[in-house]
Amino acid sequence: MTDKSPTPPDRPDPHLDPSDDTDEPAFDWMKPAAAGKPTAGTAAGPAGSAAAAGPAGSAAAAGKAGPAAAAGKTGSAAAAGSAEGTAAPSATPTASQPESRADRKAAEAAATGPSDTAQSDVATSNAPPSDDKARGAGAGVSVGARPDTAPEDEVERRNAERRNAEREQAAKAKPVLPRVLQVLLAVFYPVILLVLAVRAVTSPLFLWVEYNRPGFPGDGYGFSTDDRMTYGSYAVDYLSNWSGPRYLGDLVDQSGERLFKDGEVSHMADVKAVILSTFGAGTLLILLGLVAVIYLKRRHNGGVRRGLFAGSIVTLALIIGLGTLAVLGWEQFFTDFHRIFFANGTWTFTLQDTLIRLFPGQFWMDAGIVIGSLVLLASLVTLVLTWPTRRRRGLGKKAAATSKGTDTDAGTGATAEAAPAADGTAGSDAEGPARTRHTV
């Protein structure tokens, strides 16, 4: 629809000269830029809006501080102006011009403030940290990574400490078997010595020495020394061989009569059983003792010496005790000994019986003395040889090595101390006259 009405004659012509419209914001681009103020090209970006002064700068700051501060037409006009690609106005508008460049920039900054703030936050988070922050971040990373590896390292460390503690405890702890073998060796030793002594007495050699020694009582019923030696050798041999009772039961004297009665043969059979059992037990203990000695010799240094030393002490105690009982009452001691091994009434005979004529009371007393003496002598020798001296315990070598190491350390320390002292003394002596001469 076109307006075809005639133009009134009195209407004034429009004013087309823009030089006088200084208050119109649309013609700000035509004005020359003031000195010291940014041009339109330099003020187009966010830096220009940030550098704007006056009320417009305050409005821009307010727009960035809170998006809600920008409102109304100003924001719409700024957005429209930005979309159309028009140039930014000058940064010197007045507060009364709502469509000034500063207002549009403030509105634009208020509209784009949250996104810019988010971008600045992202840029700040992506920015490389400073030295202090880097150190803090490194520490944080190391601390954060510690829980991942710390438990494994801690478990390994604790396992290693536990293994080391167990090894030290095992090294310090003494094994049980060597102690048991030492105790057994100490217990076996007296029995072994006693068995060996009994075996030495039940021999033809001791029988010959006993029958031929001065003061030994003779036989009042006609046995000569040769007869005693012959018949006594049969009895001693029977105790150590595997023959039956007929070995003694079939013996006859010069007149053809039986030499030993049935009671005597039965008692000798009982004695043989006791003697063979004692010899067998002694042999077994000797074998076990040798095994213990070999084991202790190879595996436990000083174990043999300690076991034999304890065994010798036990043997001495037993021999002294039994010897005291025998000296105080030999008859009672002899009777009690037979009661332990034989039944009552099986070991008593008359003076006319062959056993009493061959082995009188003096023979058994001498046999007891010899047995006790041999055991006592062997235990004393063992005690002396196994006495725990410093050299046998190895303390002599350790003390010598320690003293040698101490002397060496002391000598080294003395030399080390003497060298600085000598140097210091020499230095002081050399510097003293020099300083004196220099002073003079």
pLDDT digits (tens, 9 = 90+) for 87-99: 344 444 444 444 5
Q: Return d(Cα 266, Cα 246) in angstroms, integer.
A: 10
For the chain, give the mean pLDDT. Answer: 71
Distance of alpha carbon 263 from its chain centroid, rounded? 71
Domain ranges of the chain: 74-89+98-110, 176-388, 392-440
Of the candidates 138, 119, 118, 141, the one whose C-alpha atom is nearest the C-alpha of residue 129 is 138
Residue 224 has pLDDT above 80, yes or no: yes
Residue type, 243: S
In this structure, how many other beta carbons lie within 10 angstroms of the beta carbon of residue 201? 19
Cα separation of 423 and 100, whole Å?
A: 92
More confident residue, 66 or 131: 131
Q: Which one, of 319, 67, 36, lies nearest residue 191 by Cα?
A: 319
> Which of 337-346 are b and which e, b meaning 16 or more Cβ less than 10 Å from the residue's Cβ?
eeeeeeeeee
Q: Supply the DSSP symbol for 406.
A: H
Return the SS3 of 207. helix
Cα Dmax for the chain: 204
Report pLDDT for 12: 62
* Average pLDDT of the residues in 296-321: 92
Read off the pTM: 0.54
**d(Cα 325, Cα 366) in Å, to the nearest integer?**
15
Q: At what angle do helices 176-201 and 361-385 cross, to 10 degrees?
A: 150
DSSP states along 345-377: TSS---TTSHHHHHS-HHHHHHHHHHHHHHHHH
Give the confidence band of 357 by pLDDT, cuts at 50, 70, 90: very high
Torsion of CA 418, 424, 430, 432, to 10 degrees: -130
pLDDT for the residue 253 = 85
Averaged pLDDT for residues 379-395? 85
* pLDDT-based confidence at residue 273 (cuts at 50, 70, 90): very high
Residue 102 phi/psi, 5-degree rounding, is -65, -40
| C-beta separation of 18 from 24 below 8 A | yes
pLDDT higher than threshold 70 for residue 170 = yes
Sign of the CA dihedral with 391 first, then 395, 398, and 404 last: negative
| Range among 67-81, 173-187, 346-360 rated most confident | 346-360
Task: Specify the pLDDT at position 280.
Answer: 94
Rounded to whole angstroms, how far apart are CA atoms 78 and 103? 8
pLDDT in tens, 112-164: 555 444 444 444 444 444 444 444 444 444 444 445 556 788 888 888 888 88
pLDDT at 317: 94
Host H or E run for residue 328:
helix 303-328
DSSP string computed for 151-202: HHHHHHHHHHHHHHHHHHHHHHSPPHHHHHHHHHHHHHHHHHHHHHHHHHHS
**pLDDT value of position 145:** 47
Rounded to whole angstroms, the Cα distance separating 292 from 181 reads: 6
**258: which strand partners?**
252
Q: Half-sphere exposure (CA, 13 Å, Cβ side) for 391? A: 2
Mean pLDDT across the stretch 32-58? Answer: 41
Q: What is the pLDDT of residue 342?
A: 92
Please say if the pLDDT value at position 293 is more than 80.
yes
Q: Can you tell me which residue has the tokens 């004393």?
A: 380
- Asked if residue 245 has pLDDT above 80, the reply is yes
